[in-house]
Structure formats: C-alpha cells, structure tokens
Amino acid sequence: MSNQATFIKAVNVISKTHREIGTLGEAIAVEYLKRHGFSVVEQNVSRKTGEIDIVARNGEVLHFVEVKTILTEEFPKEGDIGDAYDPSLNLHETKIRKVARTGEWYTLEKGWEGEWQVDGCLVWIRRSDGMAKVRYLPQIA
C-alpha cells in the first residue's frame, strides 16, 4: 500500500468539538484501513504507557496506528504542506515513542509473537463539505 492520499466522505463538521473531530478522524482512518485490506482488532487501547488509536492486522503483521486529524478550509496540494495544513506536526517523537512502548505492552499481554510496527495516519477534513483526505504513513517508528 502506498502512502498516497485517499479521499473519503465524512459528515457535517461545522458544529463538532475538537474531541469529536478527533473521533471522526479515527473513524475515517478505520474506513481507510479496511478499504486497504486491514482488519481492525481494537480501538483506543489505553495502558499506563499511553494510548493506541487503532490496532489493526494486515496479513501476519500487527499495526499500531496513531491518527492525527485537523479541520481545514482546503486540502493541501501535493508537495505544498505547510504548518497550517500539516497534522504530522502533532506526530512527534515523544508521541511515537509512547505508542511503541504501549505496543510492546499490548503484544506481551496478548501473547503476540509475530511482527508488529507503528504507523501514522494523517486525516484532513474539509470544513465546507466534510470530505476527508487520508495519508497513511507506514513504519514511523
């Protein structure tokens, strides 16, 4: 699967809170993953070490997916992602490390002995029509 952007119809986002936008972004990411052959195992897994937004499986690999969502007036053009449009700015090293540490706990608890990785999923939701642009980032840790 490439990390090219995919567009998904969302919902009316005008009256949504910041938390609701984040939840919507996670739902959009789940839809994206399912469309690309993943099976979603769990969502919002919380441990002492942190939280994992989505635990998904693709083949024999377990994926711990961190989702970052922002509302935007217009989607950024390819190669023209500036600060105003870039949800990856919130996908920093400290957050990725927490997801990886929580993933280690998760694999121990579940007895998972196969491969696993930490991925990112960036979601832009256009305010005017609720369309979402998704960019999947494999193996960010």
Q: Which residues have C-beta within 8 Å of that of residue 58, sequence separation ≥ 6?
A: 36, 37, 38, 39
Looking at domain 6-137, which CATH architecture does it have?
Answer: 3-Layer(aba) Sandwich (3.40)
On average, the pLDDT of the chain sits at 88
- CA Rg, the chain, in Å? 15
Q: Which residues have C-beta within 8 Å of that of residue 107, sequence separation ≥ 6?
A: 62, 113, 116
Tens-digit pLDDT profile for residues 4-39: 666 666 556 667 788 888 999 999 999 999 999 999
Q: Is the pLDDT of residue 2 over 70?
A: no
Give pLDDT, residue 16: 76
Tens-digit pLDDT profile for residues 86-102: 787 788 899 999 999 99
Angstrom distance (rounded) from CA 71 to CA 93? 23
pTM of the model: 0.86
Domain ranges of the chain: 6-137
